[in-house]
Structure 1
């Protein structure tokens, strides 16, 4: 619990987002091992927007939350991994405020290079190419066999929103996926269970998938409709198109 680490993370975020009209990260005033002091923010926490925000406010906050999180690795080399509604705020001037940088993952240069191509190929159901990427990146261990249907079922919560120009994240949608996964008799659960045992999660992708799951959950709490695919396309290289073939991507 060395707050100098959190202060270093926050300073990097504040520098990268300084002057941004959409986002605000309060600058650090001073820090020591047990104390960090930052500038003050006034506004409503995301938890309040979830409970009583208007439809526009909920959509704006969901969009901002996703964009600030996904863009940060490309803007400052860090991923904010504490995706809790209490760590985000809608300021009085309309900007989206971010706090609590104690938990950050280092992603210098952005998210892992195959993130965009994998998401794009899964979205487009180009399973052969995607499987090649997954093997190269270490998701599928040598000798393991995973079917295309199993991979699709396993990735569905992350991929389905990318298949629409705008997607409505709702509790009902999320509960439907959870209910299917919880039904041990269902074909999808069997696929997910089997795939989960076959697939490996490389360390450099671990926090990314954890955060992505958290973002999907908060967007569902907000009952928000946003252009999720547009945000990913804007910030993640290779999601729109990838000139490198899967066989050369590992050395690009």
Structure 2
């Protein structure tokens, strides 16, 4: 979690930073803590780093923390804001501008922990949503052909082989030829059902229909689409283990 403390009083910045670092809420998190004494310095940090949480004083010499809060709306992302101030009469306005919390000076560990807990819950939810979106995206594969790109569901891939520099990706009904490498494909087929069985072949082990003995003590796989894939000797042991043979 990246946290920025904005306060024109050095002692207040130091105290608040200490309580943040000490908080058990962040014990298992990697944190990066920044400090700024005015809006200009805060702007520089916010433009350089993607800050997650902002502890913002309202009275900053001749400046006002609400000015910075308004400017944050122009950023491509908006960090969460906790107003940390000696004044209790701005709470309503603070929540009107979307503040996550409002803590008063002198700071207490319990109140800082409460604010950090709120922020951590929101970040965890956002991270989980992002992972779900990434997982959804990763369910499909974009294959670059000579004249177009086709989108294939990864789990529909039965096998892939390389011959003369051409990668052929097969489903039950289609074959796609591309100049991509087998290493490129392997990096993207991370589901446990996919296995490299030869230096030039990857198969979906759930789509193996038959296993036949082959030359030099190797095996020949007959896939559900009737594709025939040779198993390299160095891959046979792992395949046996994966299939419980």
Using the size of structure 2 for normalisation, the TM-score is: 0.21
User: Higher RCO, 1 or 2 (CA under 8 Å, sep at least 6)?
Assistant: 1
Larger fraction in helix: 1
Q: Which structure has the larger Rg?
A: 2
Larger fraction in strand: 2
Using the size of structure 1 for normalisation, the TM-score is: 0.21
